[in-house]
Amino acid sequence: MSAAADYAKYKDPKEPLNRRISDLLARMTVAEKIGQMSQIERENATADVVQEFFIGIVVYALRVHFYMVRSIYQRSALAVGSVLSGGGSVPATNATPEAWVRMVNEMQRGALSTRLGIPMLYGIDAVHGHGNVYRATIFPHNVGLGCTRDPELAKKIGAAVAREVRATGIPYVFAPCVAVCRDPRWGRCYESFSEDPKLVQQMASVISGLQGEIPAGGRRGAPYVAAGQRNVAACSKHYVGDGGTAGGANEGDTAATFHDLLSVHMPPYYSAVAQGVSTVMVSFSSWNGAKMHANRFLITDFLKTTLRFRGFVISDWGGIERITTPKGADYMLSVKLAIMAGIDMIMIPYTYTEFIDDLTTLVQNGTIPMSRIDDAVRRILRVKFTMGLFENPYADFSLAGELGKQEHRDLAREAVRKSLVLLKNGKAGEKPLLPLPKNAGSILVAGSHAHDLGNQCGGWTITWQGVAGNNLTTGTTILDGIKHAVGHGTDVVYSENPDDGFMQQNKDRFDYAVVVVGEPPYAESFGDNLNLTVPAPGPSVIRDVCGSVRCALVLISGRPLVVEPYMDAIDALVAAWLPGTEGQGVSDVLFGDYGFTGKMARTWFRSVEQLPMNVGDARYDPLFPFGFGLQTRAAAEMEALD
């Protein structure tokens, strides 16, 4: 065979992008194409599961004493296009960046050993930092970042997250969430920047941080990832209307006219596509009773055709199973509806054998045309080529030092400072309590969230749901920050749950108190909440402490909660949201090293009976309106003015 005949254009980076895609697509079998459309979970790469695909197994022992599977395909029947880590899915407890890189590279080695050598794309959730990974920098959740109203800060955070993700050998993240949360009863509301679509659209600048800034004159809708190993492919989610469901029910139904859908929930996707976002994830939710995972009009006709999005559309975790009721009742029908709706890659963590079998059948019997398969694979390959995966499929250890580096922690601390919203500062007729004096005789720090890194970080931290406690990762609690902020002669007393008896015995001891309470960690449906009250023992701590001494209440939560019953008792109220690992950002502002600048990106309701209530509504009687936030100067500025 001649050298010319052997020449594979798709392997030549000098060839134009579309020529490389077409060349590779023409060489692929139906099975290989369906493989590219499949994304499986990391933990399912076991011998028993993989052997179902006629795959041989090589078990590779790593120095960190865990085993992983390297898949070497012995037939040309299939090469899976993508692998993911779900929430909490890790190679080992407290795995190092090097361990992550080894795992990803072994999987990649298996993919590259197939007939065509198409690289595997590894994806992971990174919704507020590289949350699955031990010692990563955990940034404030989006509910707090929205209050900064700082798109440039969001972009910097995206760039830092990209480098930390790349430090573990991963080139693709399922972020950002660009939902417009219209009801705080929704368990994912903290993943949303705001109830206001314009603000969400502005904060979607995080995409340019993750992927790199798209060049001027770039083709509209085409995916873009900057060259090199410091950026990642991003994923805007969850398309579309996930934040508008009735009662804030996760995976619920958004009842809205097409005009309302376009004006409230679609604008962030205009920004995402303009920035060259690589992928879009479809929502579990429905629009006017129709499942988004089966909505051809919104996925193909609007997103792909009207908006000219040229990246690939991915399902959510097991999303196609939810098309039918009950879930998985007619899986082949679900596969048909999802693929024909325009979903290109299917996240099938546990049902991938059934998916591949059923999709193969649907193609072979003509139910799904080959043109639809080719469109999906062309989009997937476009992203892989664009991000340089064919030229640089393997990760190395050179970026390991990016994980949790001080520069990123400093950035997260800045984000915490700017996200804090001061809602009250002093009772009527009294002087403001904040900023707190650093030099005091004795101060009390109380509450379940004052010294708890897990509560501070919230969901999507180390595990899917998050977990309370200080053993999950590294960081600085709010109590740690307070101790660091006060003068050497100030006695800091910490009591997680001081009762009335303790306060009566010490009523003359404390100059002031800082009470830090809030919600426990949660994610998705586990966070759906119809009452939104401050969880116990928070109310009793507020009552007992603030009834005895001047107090600042710092609320740690993924959304506004019912606080009106406590407003008369407290002297100051700070919404700190879910600040992440850098709790010192809270003390920076409490003690006046920096002023309060955050403004509400959500409406703070009085009672849940008012919900949903959003800025611009005809009936609008909030406790704190959208855009509210008391401003203070740094203590040094105040002294200079005096």
Render pLDDT for 628-642 as a digit per residue (tens, 0 to 9): 999 999 977 867 766
Residue 445: inside a domain: yes
The per-residue pLDDT for range 274-319, each reduced to its tens digit, is 999 999 999 999 999 999 999 999 999 999 999 999 999 999 999 9
Higher pLDDT, 202 or 62: 202
* List 196, 253, 316, 582, catalytic entry: 316
Write the CATH number for 393: 3.20.20.300
Task: Give the mean pLDDT of 146-152.
Answer: 99
For residue 267, what are the contacts with CB-CB under 8 A and spacing of at least 6? Answer: 180, 197, 198, 200, 201
Task: Give the mean pLDDT of 430-457.
Answer: 98
297-312 in b/e form (b: 16+ CB < 10 A) is ebbbebbbeebebbbb
In this structure, of 65-69, 224-228, 402-406, 473-477, the range with the lowest mean pLDDT score is: 65-69
Model confidence at 65, in pLDDT bands (50, 70, 90)?
very low
Residue 6: inside a domain: no
Q: DSSP secondary structure string, 348-369?
A: -SS-HHHHHHHHHHHHHTTSS-
Q: How many domains does the chain have?
A: 2
Dihedral sign of CA atoms 289, 290, 293, 298 in order: negative
Residues 347 and 439 in one domain: no
Residue ending a domain, among 374, 402, 430, is 402
Structure tokens at 206: 């995080």
Is pLDDT at 591 greater than 70 in this prediction?
yes
> Measuring CA to CA, which residue among 177, 172, 13, 215 is closest to residue 82?
172
Query: How far apart are the C-alpha atoms of 496 and 557, rounded to whole Å?
Result: 17
Residues 397 and 430 in one domain: no
Residue 560: inside a domain: yes
Residues 93 and 120 in one domain: yes
Domain of 280?
32-53+73-402
Question: For residue 129, what is the DSSP state?
Answer: B
Residues 557 and 613 in one domain: yes
Is pLDDT at 47 greater than 50 in this prediction?
no
Is 316 tagged catalytic?
A: yes
Is 375 tagged catalytic?
A: no
Write down the pLDDT at residue 372.
Answer: 98
Residue 208: inside a domain: yes
Residue ending a domain, among 339, 374, 402, is 402
Task: Give the mean pLDDT of 336-343.
Answer: 99
Model confidence at 79, in pLDDT bands (50, 70, 90)?
confident
Query: How far apart are the C-alpha atoms of 113 and 122, rounded to whole Å?
Result: 16
Higher pLDDT, 61 or 355: 355
| Count of residues in the chain | 642
Residue ending a domain, among 351, 369, 402, is 402
pLDDT-above-70 percentage for the chain: 93
The reported pTM is 0.95
Residues 398 and 430 in one domain: no
Query: How far apart are the C-alpha atoms of 294 and 517, rounded to whole Å?
Result: 42
Structure tokens at 417: 């400072």
Write the CATH number for 442: 3.40.50.1700
Residues 391 and 464 in one domain: no
Residue 254: inside a domain: yes
Residue 624: inside a domain: yes
H/E/C letters for each residue in 411-472?
Answer: HHHHHHHHHCEEEEECCCCCCCCCCCCCCCCEEEEECCCCCCHHHHHCCCECECCCCCCCCC
In this structure, of 45-49, 473-477, 525-529, 569-573, the range with the lowest mean pLDDT score is: 45-49
Residues 392 and 441 in one domain: no
Write down the pLDDT at residue 593.
Answer: 98
Query: How far apart are the C-alpha atoms of 61 and 99, rounded to whole Å?
Result: 11
Is pLDDT at 599 greater than 50 in this prediction?
yes
Compute CA distances 35 → 6, 44, 123, 480, whole Å. Answer: 24, 16, 16, 50
Task: Give the mean pLDDT of 575-587.
Answer: 99
Task: Give the mean pLDDT of 132-153.
Answer: 99
> Measuring CA to CA, which residue among 513, 526, 520 is closest to residue 433?
513
Is pLDDT at 434 greater than 70 in this prediction?
yes
Which residue matches tokens 């798709």? 10
Task: Give the mean pLDDT of 210-214.
Answer: 98
The per-residue pLDDT for range 88-106, each reduced to its tens digit, is 999 999 999 999 999 999 9
The per-residue pLDDT for range 242-260, each reduced to its tens digit, is 999 999 999 999 999 999 9
Do residues 118 and 27 touch, judged by C-beta distance below 8 A? no
Query: How far apart are the C-alpha atoms of 397 and 136, rounded to whole Å?
Result: 16
Residue 60: inside a domain: no
Residue 64: inside a domain: no
The per-residue pLDDT for range 388-397, each reduced to its tens digit, is 999 999 999 9
Residues 444 and 320 in one domain: no
Residues 321 and 383 in one domain: yes
The per-residue pLDDT for range 490-526, each reduced to its tens digit, is 999 999 999 999 999 998 999 999 999 999 999 999 9
Write down the pLDDT at residue 180.
Answer: 99
The per-residue pLDDT for range 154-209, each reduced to its tens digit, is 999 999 999 999 999 999 999 999 999 999 999 999 999 999 999 999 999 999 99
Is pLDDT at 366 greater than 80 in this prediction?
yes
Compute CA distances 606 → 349, 400, 535, whole Å. Answer: 41, 47, 17
Average pLDDT, the chain: 93
The per-residue pLDDT for range 516-557, each reduced to its tens digit, is 999 999 999 999 999 999 999 999 999 999 999 999 999 999
Residues 385 and 452 in one domain: no
For residue 37, what are the contacts with CB-CB under 8 A and spacing of at least 6? Answer: 81, 339, 344, 345, 346, 359, 373, 376, 377, 380
Residues 514 and 394 in one domain: no
Residues 395 and 439 in one domain: no
Q: What angle do CA 289, 291, 292 make, to 5 degrees?
A: 125
Query: How far apart are the C-alpha atoms of 382 and 234, rounded to whole Å?
Result: 14
Sheet containing 172-173: order of strands: 172-173, 121-124, 82-85, 38-41, 346-347
Is pLDDT at 73 greater than 70 in this prediction?
no
* List 524, 571, 582, 588, catalytic entry: 524
